[in-house]
Homo-oligomer: A and B are copies of this chain.
């Protein structure tokens, strides 16, 4: 918060302060009045600051600052990556993930270091969030465990709460609802549960995960959300497996894993064409 000890900021510092505040609070609306009080500057001055802040964000290719007019108006920062930055990031990720030493017996690839990396998961979250920004999302939901970092970063970019469905019911969640579902690929019966207080009835949710084979888990989430009278309005995953026939039709994946050839040590993975 502004400190009385320090001098009032000049424009060259104020623009930076505005960007820092907006950037730390993605998709949160700040009124001009808030900034005016915070910096002790006139609204007209701050309007000019915000024009400069918009230019900086555009220059960096890291999203945009949007002005909302009207009584509840103000400005908010919508984080994102420019197409150039996004393409470069996803291509680099494919190079990293194609390394033969990532092959795990059974045709899997090792991704834990990628999906648990704060730097990578935050960029993946930014990108996934950008597909759902217009969907009026109330919650981001995932199933433990490996999708949590990406889902959290997506929720952070959208400024919405994260909800985590559990495999086993914990004692610290109070009453919960459990459902059984069938995995799409191995046809196994699995269970997931969610605490009754986790979601408000009638909410709109998106499901975010690290990997989608056939989409059985996504179907499980749809079932689970029905129990809460909530709607799944989007699905986003970092990687989809190309070989499995999908049980869900409407989803976003950033990367497509085409081949894991254990015998010859070859992984083929490329950015998904989502358009």
A residues sitting closer than 8 Å to B (CB atoms) are 1-3, 6, 9, 11-13, 15-21, 23-25, 52-53, 55-62, 82, 84-85, 104-106, 108-113, 116-119, 121-122, 144-146, 148-149, 152-153, 155-156, 159-164, 166, 170-174, 195, 197-198, 211
Output the nearest chain B residue to A2 by Cβ-Cβ distance: B59
Q: How far is the CA of A15 from the CA of B15 in the complex (A)?
A: 8
Contacting residues, chain B, for A170 (C-beta < 8 A): 145-146
A156 contact from B9, B118, B146, B211, Cβ within 8 A = B118
Cβ contacts A to B, 8 pairs, < 8 Å:
A11-B12, A16-B56, A20-B60, A110-B173, A110-B195, A113-B197, A118-B153, A118-B162
Q: How far is the CA of A18 from the CA of B197 in the complex (A)?
A: 42
Q: How far is the CA of A118 from the CA of B158 in the complex (A)?
A: 10
A110 contact from B53, B59, B174, Cβ within 8 A = B174
Q: How far is the CA of A3 from the CA of B83 in the complex (A)?
A: 12
Q: How far is the CA of A58 from the CA of B17 in the complex (A)?
A: 10
State whether B13 touches A116 (Cβ < 8 A). Answer: no
Q: How far is the CA of A211 from the CA of B171 in the complex (A)?
A: 13
Contacting residues, chain B, for A17 (C-beta < 8 A): 56, 59-60
State whether A60 touches B21 (Cβ < 8 A). Answer: yes
Contacting residues, chain B, for A20 (C-beta < 8 A): 19-20, 23, 56-57, 60, 62
State whether A59 touches B13 (Cβ < 8 A). Answer: yes
State whether A6 touches B118 (Cβ < 8 A). Answer: no
Max count, chain B CB within 10 A of own CB: residue among A60, A153, A197: A60
Q: How far is the CA of A70 from the CA of B130 in the complex (A)?
A: 40
A149 contact from B24, B52, B104, B152, Cβ within 8 A = B152
Closest 5 pairs between A and B when the two form their complex, measured CB to CB: A118-B156, A16-B16, A12-B12, A108-B172, A15-B16
